[in-house]
Structure 1
């Protein structure tokens, strides 16, 4: 009897994984509805990147998005102009950066002190300050206006 010759197995190459996007950017109407849609899109994107809806990263960045978009609609609105949202994964997904841009350059956000509780606005930025690892304001790239950004440590890389 002839014993079969041993087959040589070559290791299989891993199946190519679809590229996980590392950026989400979209324009929204400068209305309360636009602000709600931006918040929902950011939350959905984070979920797709492996940060579940009920997880710390998704809940935190969604709340920051809600505050910054509400500010863009309330204080940065120019009739007929949209606001823009950009969410980017940096450092291989370890850090997430949210940017909300509007066309009102002269209306920069002002952080009020917690003692000024009777002020009409500014308390949302106290929340952003408490939740984000860092935040700030820059001139808007490529146009008039400003960009308010916040960054957050994600705690783990992107998952497709």
Structure 2
């Protein structure tokens, strides 16, 4: 993981109906299970400070989607010596969180959202993107334009707190 600590982009306050603010968090993490856990924890904390509290349905769902995407970056996008990048952006008026996870492995790409295979009844793999598809309003991926790798993204919609 890089030694740069994340810096809040704006002050923390609950998200309210009619709020027009947006927040961004981004950071590089080691492409290891520990890096994926740290990314999930820091993002969960950031969402809480942005007004999507721990223990609420939206917080848990977004954290699950983020956890799946970061775990996939480590499992399927790992290149020795290369980090993965997490971008988390909340847009309050649209009540949307966009998660982008970028790794540096180009040859291992996920299936397109419309072509997700159903896992076998005995299989222990292949359910992560199905969870992402079920919980996110939209998701997809694209190859990086600068350098090798890909970005997998998901957008989750949450309810504003009154």
Q: TM-score, normalised by structure 2?
A: 0.79
Counterpart of 2:118 in 1: which secondary structure? Answer: coil
1:144 aligns with 148
1:113 matched to 2:118: yes
Counterpart of 1:22 in 2: which secondary structure? Answer: strand
Counterpart of 2:63 in 1: which secondary structure? Answer: helix
Closer, same or farther: CA 77–134 of 1 in aligned 2, 3 Å: same
Residue 106 of structure 1, CA deviation: 1.3
Distance in 2 separating the partners of 1:56 and 1:141: 35
Residue 127 of structure 1, CA deviation: 0.7
Distance in 2 separating the partners of 1:109 and 1:94: 27
Unaligned runs of 5+ in 1: 1-17
Between the two proteins, the alignment pairs up a number of residues equal to 140
Unaligned runs of 5+ in 2: 1-8, 12-21
Residue 42 of structure 1, CA deviation: 0.9
CA-based RMSD of the aligned residues comes to 2.1
1:76 aligns with 77
Matches within 5 A, 1:52-91: 52-90=53-91
- Indicate conservation of the 8 Å contact 1:105/1:145, yes or no: yes
1:132 matched to 2:136: yes
1:40 matched to 2:44: no
